[in-house]
Every structure is written in C-alpha cells, then in structure tokens.
Amino acid sequence: MVDADLAALSGRDRTELRRRMRRMVRAASLSEATERELEVSLRLTTDAVIRQLNRDYRAWDQPTDVLSFSQREGVGGDVNPEILGDIVISVDTAARQARDANRSLVDELVFLAAHGLCHLMGYDHRNDAEEAEMNARAAALLAEGRNKGKVRAA
C-alpha cells in the first residue's frame, strides 16, 4: 500500500486515512448494488515515482497528485468486476497542496483518493458537465468517508 516516507503521517493519521478510504469504497459498492465488495488498491508514493508513472502511462513527464489505473477497462475488464483498480497518490504533492489549501495532509489524501475512486468508477472531467457530475459524486463519497456508523451508498 505504501512506498513513500510517511513521517508526515502519524499512526493515528494512517488509521484515519484507512478508515475513510474503506468507508468510501464500501459506499461505492453499495451504490452499485453489487453483491461483492469493490476492491481498490491505494499506493502512497513520492513525486519521483509518480512522475515516472505519469511519463510511462500518460506521456506527461512531470509529477502529478493522483493517478488511477482501472481494472475494468480494456481486454479482460469484465473478468473481476469487483476489482476497480489502483489509485496512486504522491504524498509530496499532497503535502504541498494541503499547505496551500490550509487543510491537513489526511484531508488532502482522502480528497485525492475520492477523486481517483471516481475515475475508477468511470467518471471524468473532460468538460464542465462531466466535472460537475464527478465533483458531486466525490463530495458524496467524502461526506460518507467522514461519517461514523453504518455505511450508506454514496
């Protein structure tokens, strides 16, 4: 799950990140009315690693904050429909963005994870209408991630 130096995250922060991520994925599962839990891999990494991934898979030679790699697309994408795919987040970039937005690193990581999760569920932001729909779904996932108790569809 993690290959970055997470000195910036305390044990409590790591626990909170995992809790909120699990709730968001469960909320996505419930919204799809699937019998199985959806699966997502979350990798926290560095700017150097995400830059290489961005270059290799998107032909963009610079770091980014989050990348999503869907397992539902392409040949064999329907073999295991409960496996959504991988979300890769640069902790370096997330930390800078958190400072700029005056929010905690955990909040920024969860925000980026929700964005990546939306991409794995098929949302995109190529135009204003798509972006509005994706942002609404991400907001619902984020809200459910903050909740306590029984997880509801989001």
Give 92-127 pLDDT, tens digit per residue.
Answer: 999 999 999 999 999 999 999 999 999 999 999 999
> How much is the pLDDT for 3?
46
Domains in the chain and their CATH numbers?
11-146 (3.40.390.30)
Closest CA to 25 of 147, 135, 145, 148: 145
Report how far residue 39's alpha carbon sits from residue 82's, in angstroms, rounded to the nearest whole number: 6
| Token code pair at residue 77 | 């994408």
Q: What is the pTM of this model?
A: 0.91
Segments of the chain scoring below 70 in pLDDT: 1-8, 76-77
> How much is the pLDDT for 93?
96
3-state secondary structure of 70: strand
Q: Specify the residue for token string 């910036």.
A: 8
> How much is the pLDDT for 125?
95
> How much is the pLDDT for 74?
72
Residues 97 and 52 sit within 8 Å (Cβ to Cβ): no
> How much is the pLDDT for 1?
38
